[in-house]
């Protein structure tokens, strides 16, 4: 018999972790075990138990997503795994459907994830969004980018309380501005994530208010500065942040970060040099997927469409498949827009 339940935090180690370690951890080599990615401390973990054995596990974290300007609760799904002896038994389907129902009841509007294989999650109503562009820009070519002259950029040390507060404020400006963006809904969880992440941040302020951030770790002299998250409320903010990094031309040669899918640096300024290092390679390098959990808050044409086809409603709302009947009738209602989550999870 199968039962599904939510784990108490003190059960995580014994009930769910063995499956997650088997699915994602790799085998221990020598005396140093490989790191096992763990859900964030605010995650909820659910398991399917079959005849007393843990058959499947999934973790869910709470986020806020911007869908065409509306900020809605979003369930971030991760660490989906089933016991190798019990695969293809419907346990993951039962578990994911349970989680969708639970979060819909709590008022969550979307669910988002990075799949190991998109076709697996298509079965559950998820649709693929375009992958962020991973670009490596030559720093010396960014010094003259136009725009955002009124934006001031400063270095902060993230673990400091002031640094964390600045990162969170910039994150919330990005959340309000960027369609598709996903940020943690709990400020305490967001602060803990920032403290554990990259040690440095460039915070961009306009009129004293944070409007953008790039969190990063410094690399070897002459190497590439790898940016963990580059979140900018608009293009002027992004230009100002990139110019700030261009001031590091003696320290680093290149700047690597995720940009919105339609980013075209060749149009930002003459002479910009860059490489696109984006990759889609299953199971680790994949594009994000989203699904509607509840459609009550959607505007009417989308609600009607979702009753016919939930996936099409998500495609239209997120702007990745504008040509369906509703859009032909009102082409301006849901114009194509560039969804950018701004994070992985
Ligand atoms: C992927 C995995 C979670 C599937 O678990 P499972 O117990 O076999 O899943 P279920 O039996 O509930 O199958 C659910 C559906 O997906 C299908 N399915 C199962 N494995 C699949 C796969 N690898 N690719 C595509 N579809 C698959 C099933 O046929 C079933 O379809 P249906 O319900 O429409 O008939 C499991 O193989 C696993 O733990 N793999 C290792 C960890 C991993 O890759 N996790 C994913 C991280 S995002």
32-85 pLDDT per residue, tens? 544 444 555 678 999 999 999 999 999 999 999 999 999 999 999 999 999 999
Counting every residue written for the chain, the total comes to 345
pLDDT higher than 70, residue 112: yes
CB within 8 Å of 35: residues ≥ 6 apart: 25
* 90 Cα to the center of ligand 1, angstroms: 8
Q: With cut-offs at 50, 70 and 90, classify the pLDDT of residue 332.
A: low
Please give the angle made by the CA atoms of 108, 39 and 97, to the nearest 5 degrees. 40
Residues 6+ apart with CB under 8 A from 20: 36, 37, 38, 57, 79, 81
User: Given this model, what pLDDT does residue 13 score?
Assistant: 85
Q: In this structure, which residue's CA is closest to atom 44 in ligand 1? A: 116
Q: How far is the CA of 117 from the centre of ligand 1 (A)?
A: 9
The pLDDT of residue 191 is above 80: yes
What is the arithmetic mean of pLDDT over 79-96?
96
* pLDDT > 90 in the chain, percent: 75
Q: Bin 319: left if φ > 0, else alpha if -120 < ψ < 50, else beta.
A: left
Mean pLDDT of 145-161: 95
pTM: 0.93
Ligand 1: centre distance to CA 88 (Å): 6
**Structural domains present in the chain:** 2-131+284-329 (3.40.630.30), 133-276 (3.40.630.30)
Residue identifier of the C-alpha nearest atom 11 of ligand 1: 88
Pocket test for ligand 1, best of 20, 77, 90, 96 (most atoms within 8 A of CB): 90
161: pLDDT confidence band, cut at 50, 70 and 90?
Answer: confident
Among the residue ranges 23-27, 122-126, 268-272, the one predicted with the least confidence is 23-27
Q: What is the pLDDT at residue 226? A: 93
Atom of ligand 1 minimally distant from the CA of 123:
34
- The residues lining ligand 1, judged by C-beta closer than 6 Å to any ligand atom, are 23, 56, 80-82, 87-93, 115-117, 119-120, 123, 283
CB 265 within 8 A of CB 137: yes
Average pLDDT over residues 108-125: 97
- In the reported structure, the alpha carbon of residue 190 is separated from the centroid of ligand 1 by a whole-number distance in angstroms of 31
| Whether pLDDT at 289 is above 60 | yes
Inform me whether the pLDDT recorded for 305 exceeds 70.
Answer: yes
pLDDT of residue 28: 61
Query: In the prediction, which pLDDT does 52 show?
Result: 93
- pLDDT at residue 120, rounded to an integer: 97
User: How far apart are the CA of 97 and the centre of ligand 1, in A?
Assistant: 13
Q: Which ligand 1 atom minimizes the distance to the CA of 56?
A: 7
Q: Cα separation of 72 and 109, whole Å? A: 6
What is the Cα 317 distance to its own chain's centre?
17
pLDDT value at residue 218: 87
Ligand 1 atom with least separation from CA of 94: 12
- State the chain's mean pLDDT as an integer: 91
Cα 114 to ligand 1 centroid, rounded to whole Å:
15
Is 252 within 8 Å of 281 (Cβ atoms)? no
Q: How far apart are CA 8 and CA 18, in angstroms?
A: 16
Q: Residue 240 above 70 pLDDT?
A: yes
Q: How far apart are CA 146 and CA 260, in angstroms?
A: 18
CA distances from 143 to 52, 137, 200, 202 (A): 62, 11, 21, 16
- The angle at the Cα of 119, spanning 334 to 115, to the nearest 5 degrees, equals 80
């Amino acid at each position: 018999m199968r039962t599904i339940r939510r784990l108490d935090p003190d059960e995580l180690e014994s009930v769910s972790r063995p499956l997650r370690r088997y699915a994602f951890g790799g085998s221990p080599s020598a005396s140093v075990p490989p790191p096992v990615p763990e859900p964030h401390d605010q995650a909820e973990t659910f398991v399917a138990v079959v005849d007393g054995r843990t058959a499947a596990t999934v973790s869910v974290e709470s986020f806020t997503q911007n869908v065409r300007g509306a900020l809605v609760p979003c369930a971030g799904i991760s660490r989906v795994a089933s016991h190798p002896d019990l695969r293809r038994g419907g346990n993951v389907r039962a578990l994911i459907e349970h989680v969708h129902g639970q979060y819909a009841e709590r008022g969550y509007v979307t669910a988002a994830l990075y799949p190991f294989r998109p076709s697996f999650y298509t079965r559950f109503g998820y649709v693929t969004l375009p992958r962020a562009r991973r670009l490596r820009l030559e720093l010396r070519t960014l010094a003259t980018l136009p725009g955002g002259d009124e934006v001031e950029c400063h270095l902060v040390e993230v673990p400091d309380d002031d640094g964390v507060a600045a990162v969170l404020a910039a994150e919330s400006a990005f959340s309000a501005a960027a369609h598709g963006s996903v940020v943690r809904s709990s400020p305490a969880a967001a602060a803990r994530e920032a403290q554990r992440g990259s040690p440095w941040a460039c915070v961009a302020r306009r009129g004293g208010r944070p409007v953008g951030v790039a969190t990063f770790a410094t690399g070897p002299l002459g190497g590439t500065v790898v940016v963990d998250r580059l979140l900018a409320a608009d293009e002027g903010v992004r230009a100002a942040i990139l110019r700030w990094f261009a001031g590091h031309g003696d320290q680093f040669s290149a700047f690597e970060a995720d940009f919105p899918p339609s980013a075209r640096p060749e149009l930002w300024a003459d002479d910009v040099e860059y490489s696109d290092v984006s990759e889609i390679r299953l199971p680790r390098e994949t594009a994000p997927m989203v699904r509607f959990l509840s459609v009550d808050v959607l505007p009417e044409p989308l609600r009607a469409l979702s009753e016919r086809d939930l996936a099409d409603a998500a495609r239209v709302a997120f702007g990745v498949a504008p040509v369906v009947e509703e859009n032909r009738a009102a082409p301006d209602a849901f114009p194509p827009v560039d969804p950018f989550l701004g994070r992985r999870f």
